[in-house]
Amino acid sequence: MHDSVRALLTGIMDYAGLFPPAKLSMEDAIQNYARYRKGEYAWMLDRFICPVSRLHELDAHAGLFEEQPPFRFSLLPRKADSGPQFVEMVREDVDTINRFLDSCKGLVEVDVLELKLPDNVTIQADPAAIEALVTSTSDLMGSLDVQTVRPFFEASFTGSWEKNLDAVINGIAIHNEALSDSKVMPAGFKLRCGGVEPEAFPSAEQVAQVVSTARNHKVLMKATAGLHHPFRHDNEQMSVKEHGFFNLIGAVLIAYGKSIALREIKYIIADENRKHFLFYPDAFAWSGKKIVMDQIEEGRRIGFASYGSCSFEEPLEDLKDLGLLP
């Protein structure tokens, strides 16, 4: 296996077995995660994604947490319909998380929260309003009983989506510039790439716009849903184009490493020709645009954190079929 493959894929997948289309029980999902942590490809695995509202279901499986290293969690606070409700729900969910941490006696880590911003806030396209909401909720996270935590904020592709998403990512960037609490890491943006309905799949143009805007504002990204396979392809069952995780991750890394424009980012997102994506021992390239190891590692650190997948095994099989994993 090339070092470039390992650099690009280390800690790339958060396990989201609780969510559709897998939608496993808590027992099956957490047992899978425990097994994957011990497997040959554990280096590709990052956190277990769990709604805060379902943390109590883990009580029955607390014995697993005695295994080292500590189980790592990314938690999803509840969704809200308005800014004030959003802040109050985060306040309550922070208390729930602290009770969970206390019950686990230091055997687990919670270092990421993934939060969905209310649509009635994002459609205002007001960076100052977004910054205020992000700051209010990030301040609440400072009371978590953890060493560090990083929030990722998600926004819907609604209304004038370009204007709205630019305001959201800009608002996050403004918050990050003023951040002073060393416990709460700079906030990131969470991109939803699919779902259980065709409308949940953003276009290549929309995904490229997010990548470009996040790069321009130096906001770290993570992704979720719909990234089951390496390359963009037809999902015949839902009659949509399904995004590939190499398309997305490659677009982010090359956007940072080569400073490419929005048009080229869109080409990478929309490209269905796997022959255009090349791994060398010490480099990754798309259609002649090559980035070396330092750029891959830097792009992962500042550009793309991870993506959530309800299957860990399916992407592995694809990567083996491509000859990228032994």
Residues 175-217: pLDDT tens digits? Answer: 999 998 789 999 999 999 999 899 999 999 999 999 999 999 9
Q: In what order do the strands lie in the sheet with 283-286?
A: 277-280, 283-286, 289-292
pLDDT confidence tier of residue 309, bands split at 50, 70 and 90: very high
Can you give the pLDDT at residue 272? Answer: 97
75 φ, ψ (degrees, to nearest 5): -110, 145
Can you give the pLDDT at residue 326? Answer: 94
Rounded to whole angstroms, how far apart are CA atoms 288 and 304? 21
Rounded to whole angstroms, how far apart are CA atoms 320 and 315? 9
Which residues share a beta bridge with 36?
none
Note the pTM of the prediction, 2 decimals.
0.97
Listed in sequence order, the residues at least 6 apart from 217 whose beta carbon sits closer than 8 Å to its beta carbon are 169, 170, 172, 173
Rounded to whole angstroms, how far apart are CA atoms 34 and 281? 31
Q: Which amino acid is at 181?
A: D
- Tens of pLDDT, residues 33-56: 999 999 999 999 999 999 999 999
Which residues share a beta bridge with 278?
285
Can you give the pLDDT at residue 303? Answer: 98
- Tens of pLDDT, residues 286-305: 999 999 999 999 999 999 99
Is a pLDDT exceeding 80 seen at residue 171?
A: yes
Find the mean pLDDT for residues 111-123.
Answer: 97
Listed in sequence order, the residues at least 6 apart from 179 whose beta carbon sits closer than 8 Å to its beta carbon are 138, 186
Tokens of 160: 């004038």
The CATH number of residue 210's host domain is 3.20.20.70
Determine, yes or no, domain membership for 13. yes
Determine, yes or no, domain membership for 326. no
Can you give the pLDDT at residue 66? Answer: 92
Helix axes 245-258, 262-270, angle to 10 degrees: 160
Is a pLDDT exceeding 90 seen at residue 105?
A: no
- 3-class state of residue 75 by DSSP: strand
Q: What percent of the chain has pLDDT over 70?
A: 100
Domain enclosing residue 56, as ranges: 3-321
Peptide bond before residue 21 is cis, with ω within 30 degrees of 0: yes
Determine, yes or no, domain membership for 145. yes
Q: Which amino acid is at 82?
A: S
Can you give the pLDDT at residue 181? Answer: 76
Tokens of 190: 């969470």
Rounded to whole angstroms, how far apart are CA atoms 187 and 105? 27
Average pLDDT, the chain: 96
Find the mean pLDDT for residues 68-89.
Answer: 97
Rounded to whole angstroms, how far apart are CA atoms 4 and 293? 6
Rounded to whole angstroms, how far apart are CA atoms 285 and 305? 19
Can you give the pLDDT at residue 180? Answer: 85
- Tens of pLDDT, residues 235-257: 988 899 999 999 999 999 999 99
Determine, yes or no, domain membership for 69. yes
Can you give the pLDDT at residue 140? Answer: 97
Rounded to whole angstroms, how far apart are CA atoms 112 and 299? 19
Determine, yes or no, domain membership for 222. yes
Rounded to whole angstroms, how far apart are CA atoms 37 and 199? 34
Tokens of 17: 């077995």
Structurally, the chain folds into a number of domains equal to: 1
Is a pLDDT exceeding 90 seen at residue 78?
A: yes
Can you give the pLDDT at residue 297? Answer: 98
